[in-house]
Structure 1
Amino acid sequence: MLHEFSINVPFSEINEITDLLNAAGIYNLYYESPIEIIKVQNGYGYEEKEDQHIELKIYASDQEVDHLPEAYYPLLTETLSISRDDISYKTYDETNWEQSYEFEDIDLGNGWVIKYPGSEKEYNDKNVLKFDPLAAFGTGLHETTQGCLRMVLNEDLTGKTVLDLGTGSGMLAIAASLKGAEKVVAVDYEEVSRELYHNAELNNLTNDLQVVQADLITGEYEIDETYDLILINIGANETMSIIERHDLLKNSDNFFISGLVEWHLDELISVFAKGGFSINEKSQTNEWVSIHFRRD
């Protein structure tokens, strides 16, 4: 049995409260920061609302602590100087507690479907990209990923080389491989090789698929090869920094750039124009924009 104790606390005091609970030997804590989504230059950001109260949840299991819930009530009241009436309590069956999130398959509208684990649907008349997000960024749900993904899946990449910068869990790299790319190099700040190779295996890929962990902006990694296509699905500021850091426009005549918002495009378009590129394709979903830059 899993026991949940809930307490309403000021968010401004959450660090002090968690420190007190940790010192008392209570570590299984959960809360959601109160935030307000705000528009920023490069997309969206958030501000934490320090003046609000939040619900702090404390968990304990019968497998780890004896005599629950009574064992926790005096511990919580004494540690936090609250009364028993300030604590809400409920229990869960631990066997049903950890339920994995099930993604709904996504029809991209161009003859391709993203099919997630657990789906039993059959797509006899469509191409299927099998994908398991695991822990890395990039589920395919966001407009930026879908916009760039459609561009990749509409291309014939047979025998070509592709560089995917900021690959996350590797959806674009997998798509490029499915479209026939002979070599794909996927680079990310995080260690994502487990996710990417797992998804490559799901799709029975046998091409040259390389995963590199590197800081593209401040690290020592150098992009010194040329590619038939370079993919960047990060954001305008980060894309600009990577282009400047690596003098990247020399490395390809084709770029698929996504993660862009409509109010932050002019500078990026200007940089590509100065490099001899024109816009071959531009797509937009809500405020999110994807662009194919090509140099003839």
Structure 2
Amino acid sequence: MPWLQLKVKATRPQTEKLEDALLASGAVSVTLQDAADQPIFEPALGETPLWDDIRVTGLYSADIDIAKASLQAQKVFGGELPEHKWELLEDKDWEREWMKNYHAIRCGERLWICPSWQQPPEPDKINLMLDPGLAFGTGTHPTTFMCLQWIDQQDLTDTQIVDYGCGSGILGIAALLMGATQVIGVDIDPQALLATTENAKRNNLPADAMPVYLPPRCPKVQADVVLANILAGPLADLATQLNALTKPGGRICLSGILGVQAESVIAAYAPWFDFDPVVSQDEWVRLTATKTRS
């Protein structure tokens, strides 16, 4: 069915009142978008950051009385709404529309990441079939893509791996398809653990190939490879734990790091690891290293 949307240009202090106003006027949902291309890379723990200039959009059923809805929104907001306009939202199959934005991605010589509803472009290659809707990690972001490129370059035959912050399971599943014996998936989000399990099944992997755990239940193993695509702050905080999960001579791959944060992350792991040259894409970097000291 068709929908109407009310788009309002706002500043950060106006946002909360605008959300209340649009919901009170009949909006079935309210979304916030950056209105000025202002990146927010790494919020503090527990923080919900907002941009300085924001587009607040309320979604309404098509039979809403626009005049009455506008008056009600102004009443709750406490005055005239900031610059705004009503628009008719095109009637589409929205459950499937978002799928058009995802395409197969080649991540090296051997590895492809393919949306689960598409045919692989090169069926004879290693094709990881992924449902991008389940959890973070689709291969499109530079941090994930650089990790996948590194996995593609490694000989992972008969290795044990820890994927710490597994998200959709994309890195760990790629490692299994590249020859790893077992990957232990760890994440703080139960939805991510579910997504990882479902994506492993989608790739016809054995049920015990990628067991998943919340961090307190992570087995005390020493893996051949530890993968961690998180953020710079948590990676630095986790240095002791991730070192303990890496066997002597093992490898570690860290991402989710801005270029300006690389030195601080390297310093956190330097007591145990010798680092390879930094690899970068856009403003992001990937750090890989070998454990040479216990």
Shift of the alpha carbon at 1:172? 0.6
The residue number in structure 2 matching 1:139 is 138
Shift of the alpha carbon at 1:151? 1.7
Would the alpha carbon gap of residues 29 and 247 (structure 1) be closer, same or farther in structure 2, given more than 3 Å must change?
Answer: closer
Contact 2:258 2:285 in 1 (8 A): yes
Question: Any residues of structure 2 matched to 1:172-187 within 5 Å, and which?
Answer: 172-187=171-186
Equivalent-residue separation in structure 1 for 2:43 and 2:89 (angstroms): 44
Identity percentage of aligned residues: 23
Deviations 1:198-220 (A, max 9, x none): 21122211252111123xxxxx5
Equivalent-residue separation in structure 1 for 2:189 and 2:72 (angstroms): 42
Equivalent-residue separation in structure 1 for 2:108 and 2:242 (angstroms): 35
The residue number in structure 1 matching 2:39 is 37
Task: Give secondary structure in 1 for the equivalent of 2:223.
Answer: coil
Task: Give secondary structure in 2 for the equivalent of 1:128.
Answer: strand
Is 1:248 aligned to 2:250, yes or no?
A: no
Contact 2:21 2:74 in 1 (8 A): yes
Task: Give secondary structure in 2 for the equivalent of 1:146.
Answer: helix
Contact 2:3 2:90 in 1 (8 A): yes
Task: Give secondary structure in 1 for the equivalent of 2:260.
Answer: coil
The residue number in structure 2 matching 1:194 is 194
The residue number in structure 2 matching 1:278 is 274
Would the alpha carbon gap of residues 72 and 241 (structure 1) be closer, same or farther in structure 2, given more than 3 Å must change?
Answer: same
Task: Give secondary structure in 2 for the equivalent of 1:115.
Answer: strand
Letter in 2 for 1:188: D
Contact 2:183 2:211 in 1 (8 A): yes
Equivalent-residue separation in structure 2 for 1:111 and 1:152 (angstroms): 10
Equivalent-residue separation in structure 1 for 2:239 and 2:288 (angstroms): 15
Shift of the alpha carbon at 1:173? 0.8
Equivalent-residue separation in structure 1 for 2:59 and 2:142 (angstroms): 35
Equivalent-residue separation in structure 1 for 2:155 and 2:202 (angstroms): 21
Letter in 2 for 1:194: L
Would the alpha carbon gap of residues 14 and 108 (structure 1) be closer, same or farther in structure 2, given more than 3 Å must change?
Answer: same
After TM superposition, the score normalised by the length of structure 1 is 0.78
Shift of the alpha carbon at 1:230? 0.9
Equivalent-residue separation in structure 2 for 1:109 and 1:230 (angstroms): 20
Letter in 1 for 2:98: S
Is 1:204 aligned to 2:204, yes or no?
A: yes
The residue number in structure 2 matching 1:217 is none
Contact 1:272 1:293 in 2 (8 A): no
Deviations 1:96-137 (A, max 9, x none): 676233311111232221111332343145322222222311
After superposing the two structures, state which structure 1 stretch, 24-33 or 231-240, moved more. Answer: 24-33
- Between Structure 1 and Structure 2, how many residues are aligned? 277
Between Structure 1 and Structure 2, the one with more helix by share is 2
Shift of the alpha carbon at 1:30? 3.2
Task: Give secondary structure in 2 for the equivalent of 1:237.
Answer: helix
Equivalent-residue separation in structure 1 for 2:32 and 2:264 (angstroms): 39
Would the alpha carbon gap of residues 40 and 162 (structure 1) be closer, same or farther in structure 2, given more than 3 Å must change?
Answer: closer
Equivalent-residue separation in structure 1 for 2:285 and 2:128 (angstroms): 22
Equivalent-residue separation in structure 2 for 1:93 and 1:265 (angstroms): 46
Letter in 2 for 1:113: W
Contact 2:151 2:175 in 1 (8 A): yes
Shift of the alpha carbon at 1:163? 0.7
Deviations 1:215-259 (A, max 9, x none): xxxxx5566221111111113321110114x37346423211222
Task: Tell me how large the CA RMSD over aligned residues is.
Answer: 3.3
Would the alpha carbon gap of residues 80 and 58 (structure 1) be closer, same or farther in structure 2, given more than 3 Å must change?
Answer: farther
Shift of the alpha carbon at 1:262? 2.6
Contact 1:2 1:93 in 2 (8 A): yes
Runs of 5+ in structure 1 lacking a partner? 62-67, 215-219
Would the alpha carbon gap of residues 53 and 234 (structure 1) be closer, same or farther in structure 2, given more than 3 Å must change?
Answer: closer
Question: Any residues of structure 2 matched to 1:23-34 within 5 Å, and which?
Answer: 23=24, 26-34=27-35
The residue number in structure 2 matching 1:118 is 117
Would the alpha carbon gap of residues 162 and 26 (structure 1) be closer, same or farther in structure 2, given more than 3 Å must change?
Answer: same
Letter in 2 for 1:205: L
Runs of 5+ in structure 2 lacking a partner? none
Contact 1:29 1:59 in 2 (8 A): no
Is 1:18 aligned to 2:19, yes or no?
A: yes
Task: Give secondary structure in 1 for the equivalent of 2:98.
Answer: coil
